[in-house]
Amino acid sequence: MLDRVVAIDLGGTNLRAAVVATDGAISHHHSIPTDSEQGPEKIVGRLVGLIDEVATAAGLGPDAPTGVAVPGPLDPHRGIVYFMPNLKGWRDFPLGDALRSRTARPIRLGNDGNCAALGEARFGAGVGVDDLIYFALGTGVGGGIISGGRLIDGPHGLSGEVGHVVVALDGPRCHCGSIGCLEAYVAGWAISRDAELVATTTDGERLRLVAAGDPLNATLVAAAAAAGDPAALAILERAGRALGAAIGALVNLFNPALVVVGGGVGTIGEALLAPARRGLADHSFPTARARMDLVSSVLGDDTALLGAAALAFDRASPRS
C-alpha cells in the first residue's frame, strides 16, 4: 500500500524535498538554495541527491513515487519543461526522463500552480471537493483547476492559466505580453506598479510615509491599507475587484464548489478578498455563485510541496 511518497518543490529560491504521508504529514524535510544560473543539468543533479537522501532517510523503497512541482509551464504527459521564467537555461528540457533515468523511480511532474490546486484539494481547504479552483497570487499569478475530480491540464499541459484570463480589453500590459490579464492587476509586480504610481501624487502621501524610502511592494501596501491609508485601500480595491471578476468568469465556466486564494499576495486576506467578493457579485451568475465558497489557502508555504505529494499519490492520470 502506498502510504508515503517523495515530494519536491523546485522553487526559484529553494529546492525543497520531503517525505509526505497520506494524511499530509511532512517529514525528512530538506532544503537547499536554488542557483538560478546553474542550468537544468546541474539542478537535476541536486534534485537527484535530495530525492535519494530523503527517501533513504525515510526508509522508502526504490518504487516509492516522487512528485515534482515545477515553477514554469510544462507538458506533464511527456515530462518536458517548456521554460522557466526565473531559472536560466531551461528550454524544452526533458525533466521527467532526466529524473527517471538517474533515480529509477516513478516520477510525476506538475506545474506549481496545478500542484497547488491538487495539494489544496487533497490536504487543504478542499478535502472532499471535486470542483475546485486555486489562485496562486505571488510575483506572478498561477493556479490550477480541478473539475469533476480531475485536473484540467490540457493536451499540451498549457491549461489552467487562471492568471492570464482577460479582465479588461484595454487594461494594462501583462508580463506575459497579453493585454488586461488578471495578473496585470493582482500580481506582486502589478500592486507595486500601482503603488509607485500613486506614491507620486498627493493621494499617495501616507503610502509614501509608510514606505519610508523602501521600494514599494505588496507587503507595504497591505500594511498601509491595514493602517487605513486610503491610497493603499484603493489599490487593493482595484486589484481585488479584478480578482473577483476573473473568479466570476471561472465560476460561470466551471460551477466550482470552492475557490481558494493562496500565494504571498493572497495572505493579504480580507483587504483583498472583500473587494474580490464585490467583483464576483458583479461578474457571475447568482445561481452558480450561491453554490460556491471563496476562501484563503490553509497550506501556506507548503502548498506546492504538498501538491507535488498529491501528484505522486494520484498516479493514475486520465491521459498518462
Q: Which residues bind to a second copy, rule: CB under 8 A?
A: 73, 82, 130-131, 145, 147-148, 150, 152-162, 164-171, 176-181, 241-242, 245-246, 248-250, 252-257, 279, 282-288, 291, 318-319
State the first-to-last Cα distance of the chain, in angstroms, to the nearest integer: 21
Q: Residue 234 Cβ, how far from a second copy at the closest point, in Å?
A: 15
Q: How far is the CB of 134 from a second copy (least distance, A)?
A: 13
Nearer to a second copy, 204 or 279 (CB): 279
Query: Least distance from C-beta 246 to a second copy, angstroms?
Result: 7
* Least CB distance to a second copy at residue 315 (A): 17
Residue in 91, 19, 83, 15 with CA at minimum distance from that of residue 48: 15
Nearer to a second copy, 16 or 164 (CB): 164
Pick the closer one to a second copy by CB: 187 or 210. 187
Nearer to a second copy, 61 or 286 (CB): 286
Backbone angles phi, psi at 21, to 5 degrees: -90, 170
Q: How far is the CB of 191 from a second copy (least distance, A)?
A: 16
Of 64 and 165, which CB lies nearer to a second copy in the complex structure? 165
Q: How far is the CB of 281 from a second copy (least distance, A)?
A: 9
Contacts of 26 (CB under 8 A, 6+ apart): 7, 18, 19, 20, 302, 305, 306
Instruction: Quote the cell numbers at residue 299.
Output: 497550506
Grid cell, residue 62, equals 526504490
Question: 5 or 184, CB closer to a second copy?
Answer: 184
CB of 138 vs a second copy, minimal distance in Å: 18
- 155 or 228: CB nearest a second copy: 155
C-alpha–C-alpha distance, residues 301 and 29, integer Å: 13
Q: Using a CB cutoff of 8 Å and minimum separation of 24, what contacts does 143-149 make?
A: 143/113, 143/114, 143/116, 143/117, 144/111, 144/113, 144/114, 144/115, 144/116, 144/117, 144/118, 145/117, 145/250, 145/254, 146/117, 146/118, 146/121, 147/254, 147/256
If you count them, how many residues does the chain have?
Answer: 320
CB of 65 to a second copy, least distance (A): 22
**How many of the other CB atoms lie within 10 Å of CB of 224?**
26
Report d(CA 75, CA 6) in Å as an integer.
21
Shorter beta-carbon distance to a second copy: residue 233 or 247 = 247
Max CA-CA distance within the chain? 64
